[in-house]
């Protein structure tokens, strides 16, 4: 059943109005599970909720029975999934003495049982966060006290994990207080009247080789609380990470809005149902306590930003083009959206299952696009002794193209291309020593024209490359669930049409179909235009691409900056132009040119019904990376710069986009397009 049929169209914060402090959200098999601080009405600790769209939440029973010993504080749970186990890292104690522990469950909602492992030695340790790097290495971040620091108070540290329950060595400081906006109490009685600072609630992201630790600072009980971040080129290093906000020249990225929002903070980050857009999940004060809120999170150049805290209705997180959670039991077929080409398929207990067969079993889903991202959770459902393999395959509409399969008998996966009427192995992966095929694993497949990226779990196996066979401008892909010689089960299948390019790999961008002045970008001519994980356009040059579908509803996001020009006057006339939504009838695109006149920046529109000039937000600076957001629904395009509204204009349907430099070079940091499903 198409996910859009169930999806909310807008949301209004808070998305869950009841008390739900220190929220952490886990995405597993296409569903979301939220966890929060505290004891619950059912006598358990840690609240749990479930959702499929990040907007509508169902309350569940508490996650864990309280520990013996009369602990009064159960804080900041975070749940990660690893090889069949759900691991809840949490802090417990009496507020003065706190330490970090880990509990284990077989299901995301629990019931969690404490493992018996204490992970921290400090008297006060809270807010655990486990970050998994691209190579599978795991790191534990948490907050603890620094009594001899220049700014006395709580800060964050990191230590590498040997396994799920064992830190390796001593933790290193990551972010300690250094600014006045991080003051918790100017004369904290519980600490002897000292001026106390707080930096807590770490959450780590990685982009283009750079690590970002989000954290909360100030006093969680009042208006001083907010969120900022620090960056580093390495997870473990001798010096602290570089902080972004000083509270004066640069403000926290989430902060109180007087009269509207109080104390937004203690966040986590999760990817939306479209498997592309990131959302910041945080709490903010209401009459009911600290309520759950969400807002879009974006990287723009090296900066991290949250488009919030919002107080007005927002477009809901985009639904996938198609989703199947396999809710309804079915025999002999998988239902709408699927073609069971071979094998004995059925649905039960939230899984699509196929019985063992000597030949190949295949269930096909028509993607109908040359650019999309798909995810599925899969496992071996029977005995591994007979061998075989299970996974997914791609078809270009006429023939098989690529297959990724996990061995049923050994800790191995294989990626193959279809050549000469048969599968030929292109890459084999040795899976981790504790990899168990019988428990669920997440498989993600991203396709953008000739570019393909396949990843299994976090660091277990990863491949990306270019498909060498010939395609027309808009190939139609089919993605299949497959099994051969074994029983397999699949759950939480989703795919979303669209594409994304962060210009951090010249070969990958060449495979994505960019066109440079009528010539496909490739080889040395392409590589010479890449610098610092971005694409540079010289004056008068332009880049474009099609293959983005012709959907009536979509969101196009472009990050770019102008590299050069004068600081004042009118020296920036027509620095660049953006073109999107190529008309299929008239051929005239909707386009915008950046202009400066009279000391103010504006966008001049052209094409369709546009012939106006629209003012850009005050303080707009094109020499710094800016994010332009174009969202088309109902024949209209809403244009924003970051979170700021610029204009709404009429538009034709989509098809392609282009960027052209004017008098100065233009640097592209990222482009992302998502087709939005109609209600």
Question: Picking from 22-26, 323-327, 394-398, which range would have the lowest pLDDT averaged per residue?
Answer: 394-398
Indicate if 169 and 42 belong to the same structural domain.
yes
**Domain for residue 31, yes or no?**
yes
pLDDT band at 661 (very low <50, low <70, confident <90, very high): confident
Q: Residue 523: is its pLDDT beyond 50? A: no
- What does the alpha-carbon distance between residue 104 and residue 84 come to, in Å, rounded to a whole number? 10
Q: Give the number of other CB atoms < 10 A from CB of residue 96.
A: 9
Q: Does position 571 have pLDDT exceeding 70, yes or no?
A: no
Q: Lowest-pLDDT range, 338-352, 420-434, 581-595? A: 581-595
CB atoms within 10 A of CB 612: 12
Residues 221 and 359 grouped into a single domain: no
Residue 91 predicted with pLDDT over 80 = yes
What is the distance between the alpha carbons of residues 30 and 275, in angstroms, rounded to a whole number?
A: 9
5 located within any domain: no
Reported confidence tier of residue 24, pLDDT bands at 50, 70, 90: very high
Q: Rounded CA gap, 274 and 620, in Å?
A: 30
Q: Are residues 231 and 335 in the same domain?
A: no
The chain-wide mean pLDDT, for the chain, equals 88
Of 315, 340, 358, the residue that ends a domain is 315
Domain shared by 219 and 360, yes or no: no
The residue among 449, 480, 497 that closes a domain is: 497
Confidence at residue 448, expressed as pLDDT on a 0 to 100 scale: 92
> What is the band of 18 on the pLDDT scale with cuts at 50, 70, 90?
very high
In a domain, 4, yes or no: no
Average pLDDT for residues 431-452, to the nearest whole number?
93
- The pLDDT confidence band at residue 98, using thresholds 50, 70 and 90, is very high
545 pLDDT tier (thresholds 50, 70, 90): confident
Cα distance between residue 333 and residue 601, in whole Å: 58
- pTM of the predicted model as reported, rounded to 2 decimal places: 0.94
DSSP single-letter state for residue 241:
P
Q: Which two tokens stand for residue 40?
A: 């619950």
Position 398 pLDDT exceeds 80: no
Which residue has 């029975």 as its token pair? 65
- Residue 568 pLDDT more than 90? no
Would you say residue 14 lies in a domain?
no
- 278 lies in the same domain as 415: no
Mean pLDDT for 273-288 is: 96
The verdict on 424 and 514 lying in the same domain is no
Residue 453 belongs to some domain of the structure: yes
Residues 237 and 140 in one domain: yes
Q: Does the pLDDT at position 108 exceed 60?
A: yes
Residues 131-150 have pLDDT tens digits of 999 989 999 999 999 999 99
Q: What is the dihedral of CA 325, 11, 78, 136, to 10 degrees?
A: 60
Residue 194 has pLDDT above 80, yes or no: yes
SS3 string of 564-602?
Answer: CCCCCCCCCCCCEEEEECCCCCCCCCEEEEEEEECCEEE
Same domain assignment for residues 285 and 365: no
Do residues 178 and 279 both lie within one domain?
yes
Residue 322 has pLDDT above 60, yes or no: yes
- 125-132 and 138-146 as β-strands: parallel, antiparallel, unpaired? antiparallel
According to the model, what pLDDT value does residue 506 have? 86
| Residue given tokens 């001083």 in the structure block | 224
Mean pLDDT calculated for residue range 302-308: 97
Instruction: Give Cα 174 to chain centroid, integer Å.
Output: 23
| Calpha distance 75→230 (Å, rounded) | 23
| Three-state SS letters, 309-366 | CCCCCEECCCCCCEEECCCCCEECCCCCCCEEEECCEEEECCEEEECCCCCEEEEEEE
Query: Is the same domain home to 124 and 223?
Result: yes
Q: pLDDT tens, 50-69?
A: 999 999 999 999 999 999 98
- Portion of the chain with pLDDT greater than 90, in percent: 66
- Per-residue pLDDT, averaged over 8-19, amounts to 93
- Domain final residue, candidates 442, 470, 497: 497
φ, ψ for residue 189, nearest 5 deg? -60, -40
Residue 89, pLDDT score = 98
CATH number of the domain where residue 455 is located: 2.60.120.560
Are the beta carbons of 170 and 192 closer than 8 angstroms? no
Same structural domain for residues 377 and 276?
no
Q: How many domains does the chain have?
A: 3
> Tell me, what's the pLDDT at 588?
56
Residue 258 is assigned to a structural domain of this protein: yes
What residue numbers bound the domain in which 51 lies? 19-315
pLDDT tens-place string over residues 157-175: 999 999 999 999 999 999 9
Statement: residue 450 has pLDDT above 70: yes
Give the pLDDT of residue 42: 94
Alpha helices in 448-573 (DSSP H): 506-511, 523-527
pLDDT digits (tens, 9 = 90+) for 613-653: 899 998 898 889 999 998 888 878 899 999 999 998 877 65
pLDDT in tens, 481-504: 999 989 999 999 999 999 999 999
Q: Is 221 within a domain? A: yes
- Predicted pLDDT of residue 301: 95
**Which CATH number does the domain housing residue 35 bear?**
2.115.10.20
Average confidence (pLDDT) over 525-548: 78
Lowest mean pLDDT among 43-57, 106-120, 294-308, 663-677: 663-677
Q: Domain holding 648: CATH number?
A: 2.60.120.200
- Least confident range from 290-304, 341-355, 377-391: namely 377-391
Has residue 1 been placed in a domain?
no
pLDDT of residue 589: 62
Same domain as 452, residue 564: no
Q: Give residue 120's pLDDT.
A: 97
> According to the model, what pLDDT value does residue 356 have?
80
Q: What are the structure tokens assigned to 648, written together?
A: 């709404």
């Amino acid at each position: 059943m198409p996910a859009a049929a169930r999806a909310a169209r807008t949301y209004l914060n808070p998305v869950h109005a009841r008390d739900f402090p220190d929220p952490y959200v886990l995405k597993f098999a296409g569903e979301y599970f939220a966890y929060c601080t505290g004891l619950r009405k059912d006598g358990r600790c840690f609240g749990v909720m479930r959702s499929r769209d990040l907007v509508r939440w169902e309350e569940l029973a508490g996650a864990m029975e309280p520990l013996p010993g009369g602990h009064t504080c159960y804080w900041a749970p975070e749940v990660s999934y690893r090889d069949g186990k759900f691991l809840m890292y949490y802090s417990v104690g009496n507020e003065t003495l706190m330490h970090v522990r880990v509990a284990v469950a077989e299901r995301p909602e629990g019931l969690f049982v404490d493992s018996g492992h204490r992970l921290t030695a400090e008297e006060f340790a809270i807010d655990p966060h486990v970050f998994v790097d691209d190579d599978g290495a795991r790191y534990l971040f948490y907050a603890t006290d620094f009594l001899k620091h220049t700014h006395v108070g709580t800060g964050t540290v990191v230590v590498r994990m040997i396994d799920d329950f064992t830190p390796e060595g001593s933790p290193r400081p990551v972010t300690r207080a250094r600014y006045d906006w991080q003051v918790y109490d100017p004369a904290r009685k519980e600490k002897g009247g000292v001026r106390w600072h707080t930096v807590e609630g770490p959450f780590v992201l990685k982009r283009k080789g750079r690590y970002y630790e989000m954290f909360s600072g100030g006093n969680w009980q009042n208006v001083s609380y907010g969120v900022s971040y620090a960056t580093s080129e390495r997870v473990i290093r001798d010096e602290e990470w570089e902080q972004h906000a000083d509270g004066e020249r640069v403000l926290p990225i989430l902060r109180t809005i007087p009269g509207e929002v109080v104390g937004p903070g203690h966040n986590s980050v999760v990817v939306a149902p479209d498997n592309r857009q990131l959302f910041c999940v945080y709490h903010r004060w209401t009459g009911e306590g600290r309520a759950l809120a969400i807002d879009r999170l974006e990287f723009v150049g090296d900066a991290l930003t949250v488009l919030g805290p919002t107080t007005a209705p927002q477009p809901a997180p985009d639904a996938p083009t198609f989703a199947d959670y396999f809710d309804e039991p079915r025999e002999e077929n998988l239902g709408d959206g699927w073609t069971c080409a071979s094998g004995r398929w059925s649905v039960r207990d939230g899984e699509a299952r196929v019985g063992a067969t000597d030949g190949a079993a295949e269930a096909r889903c028509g993607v109908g696009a040359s650019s999309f991202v798909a995810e599925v959770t899969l496992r071996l459902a029977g005995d591994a002794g007979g061998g075989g393999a299970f996974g997914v395959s791609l078809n270009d509409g006429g023939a098989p193209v690529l297959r990724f399969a996990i061995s049923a008998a050994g800790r191995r996966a294989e990626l193959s291309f279809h050549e000469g009427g048969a599968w030929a192995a292109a890459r084999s992966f040795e899976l981790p020593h504790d990899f168990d095929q019988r428990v669920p694993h997440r498989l993600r497949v991203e396709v953008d024209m000739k570019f393909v990226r396949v990843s299994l779990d976090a660091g277990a196996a990863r491949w990306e490359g270019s498909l060498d066979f010939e395609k027309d401008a808009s190939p139609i892909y089919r993605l299949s669930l497959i099994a051969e010689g074994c029983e397999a089960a699949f759950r939480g299948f989703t795919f979303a049409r669209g594409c994304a390019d962060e210009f951090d790999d010249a070969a990958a961008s060449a495979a994505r179909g960019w066109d440079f002045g009528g010539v496909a970008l490739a080889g040395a001519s392409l590589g010479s235009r890449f610098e610092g994980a971005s694409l540079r356009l010289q004056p008068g040059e332009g880049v474009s691409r099609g293959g983005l579908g012709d959907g009536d509803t979509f969101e196009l996001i472009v990050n770019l900056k102008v590299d050069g020009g004068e600081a004042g006057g009118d020296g920036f006339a027509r620095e660049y132009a953006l073109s999107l939504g190529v008309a299929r009838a008239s051929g005239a695109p909707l386009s915008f040119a950046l202009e400066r006149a009279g000391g103010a920046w504006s966008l001049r529109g052209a094409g369709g019904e546009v012939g106006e000039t629209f003012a850009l937000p005050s303080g707009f600076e094109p020499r710094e990376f800016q994010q332009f957001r174009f969202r088309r629904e109902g024949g209209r395009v809403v244009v924003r710069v970051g979170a700021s509204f610029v204009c709404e204009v009429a538009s034709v349907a989509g098809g392609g986009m282009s960027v052209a430099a004017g008098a100065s070079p233009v640097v592209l940091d990222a482009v992302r397009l998502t087709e939005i499903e109609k209600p």
